Structure 1
Amino acid sequence: MQRIVRPQWWRDGVYRGVAVRVHLARHDIGAVFGFLKERGFSWSAIATATGLGASRVSEIASGRRIVTDYAVLERIAEGLNIPRHYMGLALDEQARHHRQDSPSDQARSLAPIDHRELLGVVASIAVGAIPADVQRWLPSSQEIVVPAIVGRDEVATVRAVTAFHRRLDAAAGGGRCLQSARGYVAWATQLLQMKCADAVAADLRAALAELHNLVGWVAHDLDDHDMARRHLTQSLVLARQTDSLPLLANTLYRLGRVSLHQEQPAEALQLFGLGQLAAQQAGCHASVAILHANTAWAYALLGADHQVVDSLTRARGELEQADLDTAPAWTHFALTEADVHGISAVVYSALARHPEHVRYVDRAAEHSHQAVRLRQPQDRRSYIFDTISVATASILAGDLATAGEYGMKAVGLMADGMRSARVNDRLNALWELAARQADREPALAALGSRIAELQAV
């Protein structure tokens, strides 16, 4: 007998004590398949409806495989008659358009950003004055059909989509989730035009600000810095409109990190300073700590050792006062000892690359080894950064064998599914340092070959 999916299941159903709507918003497709199994569907029946194949359905249901691809999520929604907006999916025609136009193609249609001019725009927003022509600094979005009335469920979907993509980005890099996340931004942006209660509208703007913040960070991870700045500036506008000071601090921190990555420490210091104003006004010790730590990084690139030590000391002091229960979710990564050691390793390595400050290499080595020891498996990209930090400090200290060992470990982790331009950039920086010593250590010579092979793929 052919099984029929009943529409009310997706609206009112419960699986393992959690509403099916919540599972759909989280893209927990394994739970969705388990829910159908309880209603008499076989894996083969689900496979027929979705076109996925019975073995793949079984793997998804058991948790051995997760679904992240936008096209596959669309196929599941269509095959199982799931209302697309329950999963934050655009309508068919727009979704096809989204898949066909790559993010880089869409970004090229916008005029390049003059980030020096943008700095003035950002400063205006940070202090409460949104410029009249701000639109030209923001990302473009396509028309998407959405529900006529927006409620708490749609806001919850935006937040769940953001959390899901943030986890995926940390585990596998921006290349695994940028296109998908931008599709949800287009959908969520259109929700702002729909009818909703004032309180829902405010929550929606805050949730969308976090989603734009995520997309900006993911774009940064892929070295698309214009796209990163556009989405982060949009996040800044929405955060200012909702008076979300912690999110303002977060976004200014991320804008500063983009500048750091592009070796513009003076610009980064200005952005971190603006972020400090918001973080201190919010009374958020964790945010203040993160901004102090990254300020130290900017000073390290400038070779200002006294300011580096002072900023890291201030960061540690603020972290000691931070409360995990009240700190914003985005700051939680910085409250771990692994990340404290990780950022300290990066800062001291950057400082030790100045010949007059090479004495700080011992601190860089100590912090990097501690970070590797403490880092959790789900923070895979950060773990790769930590291994690169060990290799970098080891080269600066003259321990070439250890440098080769950890450099090769970083390359191996990168090759195992990590899609991050930032990791590639740091590997290149490592090789730039290692190349001078490669003739003295076979492991370093092999490292150069492996990096070249990896980046040629």
Structure 2
Amino acid sequence: MNTIGSQSSPVTPEVWEKQEMRDALLRRDISTVYRILRRFGVSQRQIAASTGQSQSEVSEILKGRQVMAYDVLARIATGLGVPRGYMGLAYDEATAARVVGVIDDAQAEEEESVKRRKFLAHAAAVTVGAAVFGSEPGWAATAARTPVPNRIGLTDVRQIEAATGALRSLDSRHGGGFCRDAVIAQLNWAQQLLGAQRTEEVEQRLFVAIGDLYGLAGWTSFDIGLIDSARSHFGRALEFAKRGGNDTLVANILYRTGRLYLHHKEPNEALKMFQLGQVAAQNTGSALTGAVLCANEAWAYAEAGLARQAILQLGMSKDAFARSNPDEVPPWVRFFDETDLHSMIGAVYTTLAAAEGADPNHSRIAVNALEQASANLREDMNRNRGFQQIMMASNHLRTGDIDHGVRCGHLAIEASEDVRSSRMRDRLRPLLAETRKRSANPAAKELNERLTLHLSA
């Protein structure tokens, strides 16, 4: 019997209920689990595709290699659709860190490097159109689920799109910590619709809608510091976007994944994502999509200390933006308006200004761009406002305008108090260092003390 073929799971649910399988799962004996799956007609290739492993890794596990790492066990459970509780994995990443314990920095760096390579390979395969559409994750069952219709139409898909738009607005206003759980809950509901009957037209749009929702799940996870969760959601988002035939969404998800790496000071990894995004963008003909990616490539070059390339990419972003028509693109790209472009210019020059021996004009250019962005920012975009104030404060302090810098610094703290975002707190730390350098000034010292208290809370 071949158990592969269901969109909702690579293995039929009854397989996990067999006593031999339950015993193996309880022991986390993945070698036995894989051997049982092989008896049910699941090939090594299918196991590898579902779990994100190479066929050689699957072969080694079948020969008896033990799997101990929590993140690998979780990925196997998710990929194959194993009920997580059967493997004792029914807890979140924070709990997992406490249970597994702290690993040394070298091991952590090695594991993170492996994850990056695997995600890059997966993203590259999806972007160029390889058949990698995987299994749906094994969501934990609840006591009673909302019934889903047997057949769905465009109205059902529009409801997912509308809910995603509303949740995206909440994320922008209050941060990922405010709405991530709601995004995950909505994703749970949307995935159940995959089992309903639908036309080909509805199916394609459903894939895109779910891909966009997965992208938002990744973005909100990133915003609160859940890196592995974010990467997992972005990976699934790529698959659904590609299956739905929407390269613009593929490019957008790659841009967001690049931002994750950029935030964690990995500009080379970020550039790989942005450049893959350009591959997808070329298939869309969307100048605005290209503008987004060029601006973010500029930021990555700035983080890498390559000022010339950064400024060149900014110029390309401006040119692409001038050619774009924002009324002809979907909402996940439409956010990149003139305000966002100025904000990105400010971010790139702020990064360049922070380098040792940097040109003082970098800070002045950054302030000018950020002031233009701030003047036109919508009132509900609290997180972006906080980011802008942080950058303006740092640049004013660098140019010796301490009073203005301190004023922006206090505004940044106030904005961060309204947003549940670990990214915001991470961005405040360099500002703390800038105020410490100028602690001889009473106003800067006061801001430093307030920042220290805020970040320690």
State the TM-score bracket (shorter-chain normalisation).
0.7 to 0.9
Task: Report the equivalent of 1:33.
Answer: none
Q: Is the 8 A contact 1:170 1:380 kept in 2?
A: yes
1:280-320 residue CA offsets vs partner (Å, 9 max, x unmatched) = 22100001000000000000011111111110000000011
Aligned: 1:450 with 2:446: no
Q: Is the 8 A contact 2:406 2:443 kept in 1?
A: yes
Measured in 2, the distance between the counterparts of 1:267 and 1:130 equals 24
Residues 406-421 of structure 1: pairs in structure 2 closer than 5 A: 406-415=408-417, 417-421=418-422
Task: Report the equivalent of 1:155.
Answer: 157
Task: Report the equivalent of 2:124.
Answer: 123
2:327 match: secondary structure: coil
Q: Is the 8 A contact 2:132 2:239 kept in 1?
A: no
Measured in 2, the distance between the counterparts of 1:446 and 1:104 equals 37
Moved more, 181-190 or 424-433: 424-433
Change (3 A) 1:390 1:139: farther
Q: Is the 8 A contact 1:102 1:179 kept in 2?
A: no
Q: CA deviation at 1:381?
A: 1.1
Q: Is the 8 A contact 2:224 2:422 kept in 1?
A: yes
Q: CA deviation at 1:104?
A: 4.1
**1:251 aligns with one of 246, 250, 253:** 253
Task: Report the equivalent of 1:403.
Answer: 405
1:433 match: secondary structure: helix
Identity of aligned residues (%): 31
Aligned: 1:340 with 2:341: yes
Task: Report the equivalent of 1:241.
Answer: 243
Residues 256-335 of structure 1: pairs in structure 2 closer than 5 A: 256-335=258-337
Q: Is the 8 A contact 1:256 1:268 kept in 2?
A: yes
Residues 56-455 of structure 1: pairs in structure 2 closer than 5 A: 104=93, 114-131=115-132, 140-143=138-141, 144=145, 145-335=147-337, 337-359=338-360, 360-415=362-417, 417-437=418-438, 439-455=439-455
Change (3 A) 1:431 1:424: same
Q: Is the 8 A contact 2:342 2:373 kept in 1?
A: yes
AA partner of residue 142 (structure 1): A
Measured in 1, the distance between the counterparts of 2:208 and 2:372 equals 36
Q: CA deviation at 1:239?
A: 0.9
Q: Is the 8 A contact 2:432 2:452 kept in 1?
A: no
TM-score (norm 1): 0.73
AA partner of residue 347 (structure 1): V
Q: Is the 8 A contact 1:405 1:443 kept in 2?
A: no
Task: Report the equivalent of 2:70.
Answer: none
AA partner of residue 382 (structure 1): N
Measured in 2, the distance between the counterparts of 1:207 and 1:354 equals 41
**What is the number of equivalent residue pairs in this alignment?**
352
Measured in 2, the distance between the counterparts of 1:245 and 1:382 equals 26
AA partner of residue 147 (structure 1): P
Change (3 A) 1:140 1:426: farther
2:117 match: secondary structure: helix
Q: CA deviation at 1:107?
A: 7.5
Task: Report the equivalent of 2:17.
Answer: none
Measured in 1, the distance between the counterparts of 2:454 and 2:398 equals 24
Task: Report the equivalent of 1:57.
Answer: none
Measured in 2, the distance between the counterparts of 1:103 and 1:165 equals 22
Q: Note the aligned Cα RMSD (angstroms).
A: 2.3
Q: Is the 8 A contact 1:142 1:186 kept in 2?
A: no
Q: CA deviation at 1:453?
A: 2.8
Q: CA deviation at 1:451?
A: 2.4
Q: Is the 8 A contact 1:338 1:371 kept in 2?
A: yes
Residues 4-43 of structure 1: pairs in structure 2 closer than 5 A: none
Q: CA deviation at 1:399?
A: 1.8
Change (3 A) 1:446 1:299: same
TM-score (norm 2): 0.73
2:140 match: secondary structure: coil
Q: CA deviation at 1:140?
A: 4.3
Q: CA deviation at 1:341?
A: 1.3
Q: Is the 8 A contact 1:169 1:218 kept in 2?
A: yes
Q: Is the 8 A contact 2:305 2:352 kept in 1?
A: yes
Q: Is the 8 A contact 1:424 1:455 kept in 2?
A: yes
1:358 match: secondary structure: coil
Q: Is the 8 A contact 1:404 1:447 kept in 2?
A: yes
AA partner of residue 362 (structure 1): R
AA partner of residue 255 (structure 1): T
Change (3 A) 1:261 1:275: same
AA partner of residue 311 (structure 2): V
Change (3 A) 1:231 1:332: same
Measured in 2, the distance between the counterparts of 1:325 and 1:367 equals 24
Measured in 2, the distance between the counterparts of 1:139 and 1:269 equals 28
AA partner of residue 416 (structure 2): M
Change (3 A) 1:429 1:311: same
Q: CA deviation at 1:106?
A: 8.1
Measured in 2, the distance between the counterparts of 1:419 and 1:434 equals 23
Q: Is the 8 A contact 1:139 1:234 kept in 2?
A: no
Unmatched 5+ stretches in structure 1: 1-100
Measured in 1, the distance between the counterparts of 2:453 and 2:137 equals 35
Change (3 A) 1:183 1:393: same
AA partner of residue 124 (structure 1): A
Q: CA deviation at 1:152?
A: 2.4
1:238-258 residue CA offsets vs partner (Å, 9 max, x unmatched) = 111111010011001001001
Measured in 2, the distance between the counterparts of 1:151 and 1:331 equals 25
Unmatched 5+ stretches in structure 2: 1-89, 101-107
Measured in 2, the distance between the counterparts of 1:377 and 1:315 equals 26
1:455 match: secondary structure: helix
